[in-house]
């Protein structure tokens, strides 16, 4: 039996142990397409304290208690690792779908990073809007609003597609219920956090919030962060920004994040600051 036949046999055995979800289409050639269950492989044979292992597994998404064969992880765990690694790579390299942007009705702008290679190698290119996007924002952007929301792909397009359709409406609704004016949100392709400084200057808003895809890991490729800064200038640094991270279905859920962010933004507008200055002022009143 050659190595390819061994691999096919192992994959067929894994399929039998993990049946396809009911809604998943059955592929024509099951030897080429394998569907993995979302439940990770967790099994230690002959464990001395299974309760302790299960408790540890319940409080962390880390790959613990997956068992081993000799000095190596089991085939199922290794294949799951490869699948998660591939998902993380896809999250970085693929673009947010045009159909998705049309669905959530977000205009599309771009940075000076014209391709992914430039985006990954040249940080400044992702922090500056393209000439066409600057002109679009000057002509069509909502000026003088309290809050400008921008959606950025960052390092995970998957995070944008998984969270923004629920997060964005919740955030906008929360702000409007507090009588806070909100500019028309838009999407910026191949953008980094600091692009928000240029945006804020053009639209003359009080506070800008960037909903941006986080660097994907092997536990999730769908984690989103929200970076907020009040009236940024040329002297603005990281310490002047406030960030809420781990927004995804297994962390701070998108709808909860929208409500929470609207409350925090209201406080920031009253304090007229973000970042370390806001944290200090908040702690002083506790």
CATH number reported for the structural domain that contains residue 58 in this entry:
1.10.30.40
Q: What is the pTM of this model?
A: 0.72
Last residue of a domain, one of 92, 114, 145: 92
Last residue of a domain, one of 92, 111, 128: 92
Shared domain for 209 and 162, answered yes or no, is yes
Shared domain for 88 and 106, answered yes or no, is no
Token pair of 284, please?
A: 């002083």
Residues 224 and 159: beta-carbon distance below 8 Å: yes
pLDDT above 90: percentage of residues in the chain: 51
Shared domain for 17 and 111, answered yes or no, is no
Residue 135 vs residue 71, higher pLDDT: 135
The CA distances from residue 68 to 45, 55, 72, 76, 103, in Å, are 9, 19, 6, 10, 45
Find the CATH number of the domain harbouring 194.
3.40.50.11240
Confidence at residue 51, expressed as pLDDT on a 0 to 100 scale:
81
Confidence at residue 141, expressed as pLDDT on a 0 to 100 scale:
95
Confidence at residue 35, expressed as pLDDT on a 0 to 100 scale:
53
Work out how many domains the chain is built from and give that number.
2
Q: Is 193 annotated as a binding residue?
A: yes
Q: Is 15 annotated as a binding residue?
A: no
Integer Cα distance of 1 and 9 in angstroms: 10
Confidence at residue 85, expressed as pLDDT on a 0 to 100 scale:
60
User: pLDDT tens, 209-267?
Assistant: 999 988 765 566 788 999 999 999 999 999 999 999 999 988 899 999 999 999 999 99
Residues 173 and 181: beta-carbon distance below 8 Å: no
Lowest mean pLDDT among 40-44, 71-75, 133-137, 239-243: 40-44
Confidence at residue 68, expressed as pLDDT on a 0 to 100 scale:
74
Residue 169 pLDDT > 70, yes or no? yes
DSSP 166-212: HHHHHHHHHHHHTT--BPPPEEEET--TTHHHHHHHHHT-SEEEEEE
Integer Cα distance of 2 and 79 in angstroms: 19
Confidence at residue 143, expressed as pLDDT on a 0 to 100 scale:
96
Residue 3 CB partners (closer than 8 Å, separation 6+): none
Confidence at residue 120, expressed as pLDDT on a 0 to 100 scale:
83
Shared domain for 136 and 178, answered yes or no, is yes
Last residue of a domain, one of 92, 123, 144: 92
Residue 4 pLDDT > 70, yes or no? no
Confidence at residue 201, expressed as pLDDT on a 0 to 100 scale:
96
Q: Give the pLDDT band (50/70/90) at residue 168.
A: very high
What is the average pLDDT value for the chain, to the nearest integer?
83
Name the DSSP class of 96.
Answer: P
Residue 270 vs residue 83, higher pLDDT: 270
Find the domain containing 236 and state its range: 98-284
The CA distances from residue 209 to 17, 22, 226, 273, in Å, are 45, 39, 6, 13
Confidence at residue 52, expressed as pLDDT on a 0 to 100 scale:
79
Confidence at residue 117, expressed as pLDDT on a 0 to 100 scale:
86
Residue 60 pLDDT > 90, yes or no? no
Q: 16-20, 27-31, 53-57, 82-86: which has the highest mean pLDDT?
A: 53-57
Residue 64 pLDDT > 80, yes or no? no
Shared domain for 38 and 88, answered yes or no, is yes
Shared domain for 25 and 158, answered yes or no, is no
Shared domain for 8 and 30, answered yes or no, is yes
Shared domain for 182 and 88, answered yes or no, is no
Shared domain for 229 and 174, answered yes or no, is yes
Residue 72 pLDDT > 90, yes or no? no
Shared domain for 158 and 77, answered yes or no, is no
Closest Cα to residue 66, out of 43, 45, 37? 43
Backbone φ and ψ for 10, nearest 5 degrees, come out as -65, -45
Shared domain for 8 and 42, answered yes or no, is yes
Residues 163 and 195: beta-carbon distance below 8 Å: no
Confidence at residue 8, expressed as pLDDT on a 0 to 100 scale:
66
Residue 266 vs residue 36, higher pLDDT: 266
Shared domain for 45 and 125, answered yes or no, is no
């Amino acid at each position: 039996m050659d190595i390819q036949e061994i691999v096919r046999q192992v994959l067929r055995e894994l399929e039998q142990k993990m049946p396809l979800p009911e809604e998943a289409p059955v592929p024509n050639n099951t030897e080429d397409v394998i569907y993995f269950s979302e439940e990770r492989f967790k099994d230690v044979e002959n464990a001395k304290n299974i309760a302790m292992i299960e408790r540890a597994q319940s409080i962390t998404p880390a790959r613990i208690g997956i068992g081993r064969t000799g000095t190596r992880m089991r085939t199922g765990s290794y294949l799951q690792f490869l699948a998660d690694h591939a998902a993380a790579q896809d999250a970085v390299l693929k673009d947010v779908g045009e159909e998705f942007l049309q669905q959530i009705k977000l205009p599309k702008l771009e940075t000076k990073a014209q391709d992914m290679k430039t985006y990954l190698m040249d940080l400044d290119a992702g922090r500056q809007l393209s000439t066409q996007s600057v002109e679009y924002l000057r002509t069509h952007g909502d000026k003088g609003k309290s809050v400008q929301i921008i959606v950025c792909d960052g390092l995970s397009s998957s995070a944008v597609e998984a969270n923004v359709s629920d997060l964005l409406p919740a955030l906008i609704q929360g702000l409007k219920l507090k009588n806070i004016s909100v500019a028309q949100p838009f999407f910026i392709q191949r953008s980094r956090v600091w692009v928000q400084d240029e945006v804020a200057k053009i639209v003359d808003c009080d506070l800008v919030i960037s909903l941006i895809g986080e660097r994907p890991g092997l536990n999730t490729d769908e984690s989103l962060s929200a970076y907020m800064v009040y009236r940024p200038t040329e002297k603005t640094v990281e310490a002047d920004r406030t960030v809420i991270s781990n927004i995804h279905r297994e962390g701070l859920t998108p709808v909860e994040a929208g409500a929470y962010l609207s409350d925090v933004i209201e406080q920031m507008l009253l304090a007229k600051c973000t970042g370390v200055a806001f944290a200090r002022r908040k702690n002083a009143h506790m």
